[in-house]
């Protein structure tokens, strides 16, 4: 049985919705409480048994490899000060069995092109794709671990989906799918950001994929779409013609941290669960709500 050991993280986007914060710092490094988005994504991959992290990087994105690199000076300083817990935390950002690979995407030509950039490293293996700005709190089990379990059973491509508001279908890749088995649906079609009047369903693909290597030949055949970009959605539509693709509605809550509102929602809710901050932060929010007159 083939297992998922590699994950692709497309991190070359410009993050224009968060300017000026993302002018010199990638949006994937925006912190939710005390960890950047990209670290949450990598931790989700590690939990799923993935050992090779492949970052599709762009210019001015040095902070991502720096974050996952060894920080000798910081570790020496923490050790000298006796800050053992902080030292362990820093050393544990990348577990010893995990490797990180960085590939430069010379042009930002869409998600499909970002995945194409990883072809030589994927080397014919099935792999995961994780979009860090879709932060998913899976509760007891992360979304990617759930998807990998399903891949292990069915050995085919899977798309992480959730039901989205009908009026927002033009923000997502939308699947046309029929119930299959064990909570899964078989995908019959997929379209990128359809108008609500043209959407085949309200099942949107939300930043989690497990793909077979057949996707690369499909990407080679994919024409550039709107904005001159190569859409992964279009390649998946071609993949449907040659093999089974399943839609999996993962268990957990997703925060769209590519939007300012979603990012703020994630920060508040993760703050309310943080072991050091939860009680004091909850007291602050309750006091603020009273002073602002909420709930009257």
DSSP string spanning 8-60?
Answer: EEE-----GGGTTTTSSS-GGG-EETTEEHHHHHHHHHHHTT--EEEEEE-TT
Six token digits for residue 189? 């079609």
Same domain for 86 and 228:
yes
User: Which residue blocks in the chain are alpha helix, DSSP H?
Assistant: 37-47, 63-68, 72-80, 84-91, 111-116, 119-122, 143-154, 215-220, 232-239, 260-271, 278-292
- Whole-prediction pTM: 0.94
Same domain for 180 and 145:
yes
Residue 1 lies in a domain: no
Same domain for 263 and 244:
no
Same domain for 146 and 278:
no
Same domain for 132 and 96:
yes
Same domain for 252 and 137:
yes
Residue 67 lies in a domain: yes
Peptide bond between residue 20 and the one before it cis (omega within 30 degrees of 0): yes
Predicted local distance difference test score (pLDDT) of residue 296: 57
Predicted local distance difference test score (pLDDT) of residue 141: 93
Predicted local distance difference test score (pLDDT) of residue 245: 97
Residue 284 lies in a domain: yes
pLDDT digit string (tens) for the chain, length 296 residues: 689 999 999 998 888 898 898 888 899 999 999 999 999 999 999 999 999 999 999 876 789 999 999 888 999 999 999 999 999 989 989 998 999 999 999 888 899 999 999 999 999 999 999 999 999 998 889 999 999 999 999 999 999 999 999 999 998 989 999 999 888 999 999 998 889 999 999 999 999 999 999 999 999 999 887 678 899 999 999 999 999 999 999 999 999 999 999 999 999 999 999 999 999 999 999 999 888 877 65
Predicted local distance difference test score (pLDDT) of residue 1: 65
Same domain for 243 and 97:
yes
Residue 244 lies in a domain: yes
Predicted local distance difference test score (pLDDT) of residue 290: 87
Residue 158 lies in a domain: yes
Same domain for 30 and 85:
yes
Number of domains composing the chain: 2
User: Which CATH number fits the domain that encloses residue 175?
Assistant: 3.90.550.10
Predicted local distance difference test score (pLDDT) of residue 39: 97
Same domain for 165 and 56:
yes
Same domain for 176 and 284:
no
The phi and psi torsions of 209 (rounded to 5 degrees) equal -135, 145
Residue 119 lies in a domain: yes
Residue 248 lies in a domain: yes
Residue 94 lies in a domain: yes
Same domain for 265 and 238:
no
Q: Taking CA 268 as the corner, what is the angle to CA 60 and CA 54, rounded to the nearest 5 degrees? A: 35
Domain that holds residue 34: 6-257
Helix or strand or coil: residue 99? strand
Same domain for 278 and 252:
no
């Amino acid at each position: 049985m083939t297992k998922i050991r590699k994950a692709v993280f497309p991190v070359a986007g410009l993050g224009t919705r968060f300017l000026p914060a993302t002018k010199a710092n990638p949006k994937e490094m925006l912190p939710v409480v005390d960890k950047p988005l990209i670290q949450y994504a990598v931790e989700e991959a590690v939990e799923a048994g993935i050992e090779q992290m492949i970052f599709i990087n762009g210019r001015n994105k040095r902070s991502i490899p720096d974050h996952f690199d060894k920080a000798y000076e910081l570790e020496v300083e923490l050790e000298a000060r006796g800050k053992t817990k902080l030292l362990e935390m820093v050393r544990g950002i990348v577990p010893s069995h995990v490797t990180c690979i960085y590939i430069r995407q010379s042009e930002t030509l869409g998600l499909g092109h970002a995945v194409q950039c990883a072809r030589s490293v994927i080397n014919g293996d099935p792999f995961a794709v994780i979009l860090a700005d879709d932060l998913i709190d899976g509760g007891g089990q992360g979304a990617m671990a759930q998807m990998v379990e399903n891949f292990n059973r069915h050995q085919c491509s899977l798309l992480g989906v959730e039901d989205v508001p009908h009026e927002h279908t033009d923000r997502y890749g939308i699947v046309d799918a029929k119930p299959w088995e064990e909570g899964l649906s078989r995908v019959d079609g997929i379209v990128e950001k359809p108008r609500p009047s043209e959407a085949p369903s309200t099942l949107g693909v939300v930043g989690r994929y497990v793909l077979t290597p057949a996707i690369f030949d499909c990407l080679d055949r994919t024409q550039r779409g709107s904005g001159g970009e190569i859409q992964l959605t279009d390649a998946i539509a071609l993949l449907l013609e040659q093999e089974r693709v399943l839609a999996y509605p993962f268990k957990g809550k997703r925060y769209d941290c590519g939007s300012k509102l979603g990012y703020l929602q994630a920060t508040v809710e993760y703050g309310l669960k943080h072991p050091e901050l939860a009680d004091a932060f909850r007291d602050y929010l309750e006091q603020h709500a009273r002073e602002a007159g909420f709930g009257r």
